[in-house]
Amino acid sequence: MYKAIFTNSFGILFSRILGFARDLLTASILGANVYSDIFFIAFKLPNLFRRVFAEGAFTQSFLPAFTRSKHKAVFSVHIFVLFLFVILLMTLAVNLFPEAAAKLIALGFDADTVRLAAPYVAINFFYLPLIFAVTFLSAFLQYKNHFATTAFATGLLNIALIVALLLAKGGAQETVVLYLSYGVVLGGAAQLAVHLLAIRGLNLHRLLVGGVRYYRRKSRQIQKETRRFSQEFFPAVWGNSTAQFAAFLDTWLASFLSAGVISYLYYANRVFQLPLALFAIATSVALFPKISRHLKHDDERKARAMLAKAFWFLLYLLGFSAIGGIVLAEEITRLLFERGAFGAQDSVQTSLVLQMYLVGLIPFGLNKLFSLWLYAQRRQREAAKIATWSLGTNILFSLALIYPLGGAGLALSTSISGAVAFFATLHAVGKEHILDIIAPKNGLQWMLASVLFTFIVIAFKELINVYL
């Protein structure tokens, strides 16, 4: 278990280091203004779908269905063709009507800003079909317990964007945004290339070739499996993507605020996503195939034991990450971003947003873990209901807090919605299972939990003092 977790974590760390280098360059060259807002808006929708697909929603529906399928090759090819066709239609629609797409993402932009953003939105959207193909192939690699390629491949996108920034440095801001947009597409193509090489290296390409070859002959035999997958997939997307939709909602509402707020949310969310991805997402990706197998064979005891180990592992890491981040938010922001076009006031505003995001780090991270129980049992509809309550909470608090607290209010609303999702997931998993998973097993766990709780109280006291 830990080997797979550390493989994912190390790959994510490698990618995030490159990502911070990219963000550092972006902040230095573009700063926090209308052009940086335009790029983040242009990349927002394809990046939203990337997170939805790549961080669990697709895999957590596809892998159980693929494992149970009697015609795995034909089933997988059918799913790939179906999804790719829909995504290509969406990409075509965005490129035909880019201004409508830009307006949809940033409703608060005026007409001139929408016209500026439209061509970049169209270019960035070509990333979506590429990243879906990457996600599809990564599900096959996970089935074979191969995690390294997917974990490290994300770094290729960041490398492409860094190269684009270096090439565009010194040019007009419009040129920088254009180079970044093409960098997104080239980064997606590079990710797809390395996944194809990994698939070939493990001889999984034969399965796909066989699926194409026998598709006509056996397509009718997978209709029931396909129908079941479709029924599970859309609730899984909704249930597994609360954080992503919440971030998208933040950007949408922030477009009504002053220029730069979208960028503050983006930079703060990038820091927030580091421990979330490094620990929570890496752990959930590594554990899901194993949890699924244990529950499939009615071995709940082993599944609970794995979740218990992961729970304490995540609680410590996420807890101390949240504490350190809240206390040192301004210092972290200054260190990472304050240079060039990104000034001291930008650091202050970004750090306030970061603190509010970090309030939700523990519930968001632990929810990733406990929701595995629901997905492994194919209870996607329950997860979808939880996500609906969570997103509804986010909307209500966002509307209530956007004007008194600005971008920080949007981030706090996201954290509150994460807490709602977490406690609802605990209720769905069941009291008996939860108590067995989270109960401290020895004195050391009791001591560390007490220390962690003490530091959390101190951190929240500091946070309250900032706003009083």
Q: Which of 184-193, 290-299, 305-314, 430-439 has the highest mean pLDDT?
A: 184-193
Please provide the average confidence, as pLDDT, over all residues in the chain.
79
Question: What are the tens digits of pLDDT across the range 145-178?
Answer: 777 787 778 788 889 989 998 888 877 788 888 8
Q: Using CA atoms, how far apart are residues 6 and 286, in angstroms rounded to an integer?
A: 9
What is the tally of structural domains in the chain? Answer: 2
Q: Using CA atoms, how far apart are residues 230 and 226, in angstroms rounded to an integer?
A: 6
Tokens 């500091």 locate to 462
Assigned domain for 11 exists: no
pLDDT at residue 450 in the model: 66
| Those residues with Cβ within 8 angstroms of residue 106's Cβ, 6 or more apart along the chain or in another chain | 37, 41, 113, 114, 117, 251, 252, 255, 262
89 and 148 within one domain: yes
Question: Average pLDDT of 229-249?
Answer: 69
pTM of the entire predicted model: 0.67
Assigned domain for 17 exists: no
316 and 227 within one domain: no
Question: What are the tens digits of pLDDT across the range 402-445?
Answer: 888 888 888 888 888 888 988 898 888 887 777 777 776 666 66
Burial class (CB within 10 angstroms; exposed 0-12, middle 13-18, buried 19+) of 298: exposed
> Which pLDDT band, with edges at 50, 70 and 90, does 120 fall under?
confident
246 and 231 within one domain: no
pLDDT at residue 194 in the model: 92
Question: What range defines the domain where residue 305 resides?
Answer: 241-468
185 and 313 within one domain: no
> Which pLDDT band, with edges at 50, 70 and 90, does 107 fall under?
low
234 and 245 within one domain: no
Identify the weakest region by mean pLDDT among 121-135, 164-178, 441-455. Answer: 441-455
228 and 271 within one domain: no
Assigned domain for 460 exists: yes
pLDDT at residue 89 in the model: 92
Which of 191, 220, 238 is the last residue in one of the domains?
238
Q: Using CA atoms, how far apart are residues 209 and 224, in angstroms rounded to an integer?
A: 22
Q: Using CA atoms, how far apart are residues 191 and 128, in angstroms rounded to an integer?
A: 12
332 and 194 within one domain: no
- Quick one: three-class SS letters along the chain? CHHHHHHHHHHHHHHHHHHHHHHHHHHHHCCCCHHHHHHHHHHHHHHHHHHHHHHHHHHHHHHHHHHHCCCHHHHHHHHHHHHHHHHHHHHHHHHHCHHHHHHHHCCCCCHHHHHHHHHHHHHHCCHHHHHHHHHHHHHHHHHCCCCHHHHHHHHHHHHHHHHHHHHHCCCCHHHHHHHHHHHHHHHHHHHHHHHHHHHHHCCCHHHHHHHHHCHHHHHHHHHHHHHHHHHHHHHHHHHHCHHHHHHHHHHHHHCCCCCCHHHHHHHHHHHHHHHHHHHHHHHHHHHHHHHHHHHHCCCHHHHHHHHHHHHHHHHHHHHHHHHHHHHCHHHHHHHHHCCCCCCHHHHHHHHHHHHHHHCCHHHHHHHHHHHHHHHHCCCHHHHHHHHHHHHHHHHHHHHHHHHHHCHHHHHHHHHHHHHHHHHHHHHHHCHHHHHHHHCCCCHHHHHHHHHHHHHHHHHHHHHHHHHC
Question: Average pLDDT of 105-122?
Answer: 80
Question: Average pLDDT of 13-21?
Answer: 75
pLDDT at residue 209 in the model: 78
Assigned domain for 407 exists: yes
> Which pLDDT band, with edges at 50, 70 and 90, does 189 fall under?
very high
Buried b (16+ CB within 10 A) or exposed e, 423-442: ebbbebbeeebbeebbeeee
Q: Which of 25-29, 100-104, 340-344, 414-418 has the highest mean pLDDT?
A: 414-418
Query: Cβ(251)–Cβ(410) under 8 Å?
Result: no
> Which pLDDT band, with edges at 50, 70 and 90, does 452 fall under?
low
383 and 251 within one domain: yes
Question: Average pLDDT of 459-467?
Answer: 60
Assigned domain for 272 exists: yes
279 and 378 within one domain: yes
340 and 198 within one domain: no
pLDDT at residue 191 in the model: 92
Q: Is 53 a residue whose pLDDT tops 90? A: no
Assigned domain for 188 exists: yes
pLDDT at residue 92 in the model: 92
Question: Average pLDDT of 130-141?
Answer: 86
176 and 71 within one domain: yes
Which of 213, 238, 263 is the last residue in one of the domains?
238
> Which pLDDT band, with edges at 50, 70 and 90, does 105 fall under?
confident
355 and 255 within one domain: yes
Question: Average pLDDT of 314-325?
Answer: 85
Assigned domain for 24 exists: no
Assigned domain for 1 exists: no
Buried b (16+ CB within 10 A) or exposed e, 73-107: bbbbbbbbeebeeebeebbeebeeebeebbbebbe
156 sits in the region (left: phi over 0; alpha: psi -120 to 50; else beta) called: alpha
Which of 175, 208, 238 is the last residue in one of the domains?
238
